[in-house]
Amino acid sequence: MKDRNYLEIFGKEPDIAVRAPGRINLIGEHTDYNKGFVLPVAIDRQITLTLGRRADKKAVIFCGNLGEKVSLDLSQNSYDSKRTWSNYPRGVIQSLILEGSELGGFNAFFRGDIPMGVGLGSSAAVEVAFAYGLDQLFGLSLERKKMAILCQKAENSFVGVNCGVMDQFISFLGRKDHALLLDCQSLEYKYIRLNLKNFRLVIIDTGIKRELQDTRYNTRRNECEQGVKAISKCLKAINSLREVSLLEFNNIKDFIPKNLRMRSQHVIEENKRVKLCSRLLEKNDLQSFGRLMVRSHQSLSDLFEVSCNELDFIVEKLRKDPGVLGARMTGAGFGGCAIALIKEDHIESIVPELSGEYRKRYSTEPRFYLINASEGASRI
Ligand code: GLA
């Protein structure tokens, strides 16, 4: 398909252009909505958005990847069950207006090179690009943290996915060559410099698409909430799983129903792993960090039950390879991507080998992406 742009669609030059990155999460999965800790990295794949003002109160939004356009009245904005991609910008528009921002009419053209629907934060990047772009276009002067929460709310209430704040937060606040340690309760954060020496972060895409609208994500969130209630009954009143130590949990875990026990145990242990990993990365101890990646994966597979055969297969193969320090699924799971820390001069041999074995078993090839830690949303 011919690469179209703003000028071709709208017949004049845009006023501004912005970008917002996708993400991987190094460790801390399904901990964000449990008020715990996460360690994501913004990647060098992104959504780019060009915007121009209109004289009326309409928003005309063109998605370059799909070649589709929607047009809406800012005062009459509702869920679109036909062009579901448009619900991300629609949700952001609604959240901004509800928050009290004065928006004028605008034309928008966006496209991205983040693989879609495979857990690399493409939908959050669309939301962040729109929130940041509209903030810049209309001089709203909103804080990045505030906009991240606003985008999360848009996804929760407009799109209907009860996601946490991680993806939106890192897309706004990512930093080149750094991971971001985020406390999802206080929203305090700290940058951790990534000194990967002769190793590289590699994404392995199983090719299995997963929609967050998939009810299994919301089900896990409900189970964690029920876990909180069960623990409150036999230990102490708590508001989130982050308030329980492993020691306390181990004393009472036999009284918790099995599935809630498994979900809660994952979250409590994963929070510990995140804190430990951030210290290990500060000390450049990549070996120990890699081992914890694998432990996190095992927990997501066995206790939280959000992995799948394909992800398990990839992680199992990679962890046995001497050129790999660690591997795990990243994002919500149920398909999507794994990440691995692989020795640079080993990548060339490992890629065809793993592809071949994967193809034999699943009759399809995984995709590999080498990535670098990048900046959060910015003007271009
Ligand atoms: C998705 C959600 C995040 C987070 C991860 C799992 O990416 O958008 O908020 O819950 O899954 O860690």
Residue 259 lies in a domain: no
Residue 85 lies in a domain: yes
Rg (CA), the chain: 21
Q: Residue 132 contacts by C-beta under 8 Å, 6 or more apart in sequence?
A: 18, 20, 147, 172, 377
Whole-model pTM? 0.96
Residue 68 lies in a domain: yes
Range of the domain at 36: 6-192
Residue 1 lies in a domain: no
Interval 314-373: pLDDT, tens = 999 999 999 999 999 999 999 999 999 999 999 999 999 999 999 999 999 999 999 999
**Per-residue pLDDT at 2 exceeds 60:** no
Q: How far away, in angstroms, is 119 Cα from ligand 1 center?
A: 8
Residue 34 lies in a domain: yes
Q: How far away, in angstroms, is 73 Cα from ligand 1 center?
A: 31
**Cα-based angle 23, 28, 30 (whole degrees, multiple of 5):** 90
Q: Residue 3 contacts by C-beta under 8 Å, 6 or more apart in sequence?
A: 64
First CA to last CA distance, the chain: 24
Quickly count: other Cβ atoms within 10 Å of residue 155's Cβ.
25
At 152, which CATH number?
Answer: 3.30.230.10
Interval 136-158: pLDDT, tens = 999 999 999 999 999 999 999 99
* C-alpha–C-alpha distance, residues 252 and 234, integer Å: 7
Closest CA to 366 of 318, 302, 298: 318
pLDDT, averaged across the chain: 96
Residue 136 lies in a domain: yes
Residue 83 lies in a domain: yes
C-alpha of 116 from chain center:
11
Interval 213-269: pLDDT, tens = 568 889 999 999 999 999 999 999 999 999 999 999 999 999 999 999 999 999 999
Number of domains the chain is built from: 1
Ligand 1 atom nearest the C-alpha of 121 is: 7
Ligand 1 atom nearest the C-alpha of 217 is: 11
* C-alpha–C-alpha distance, residues 108 and 53, integer Å: 9
Residue 56 lies in a domain: yes
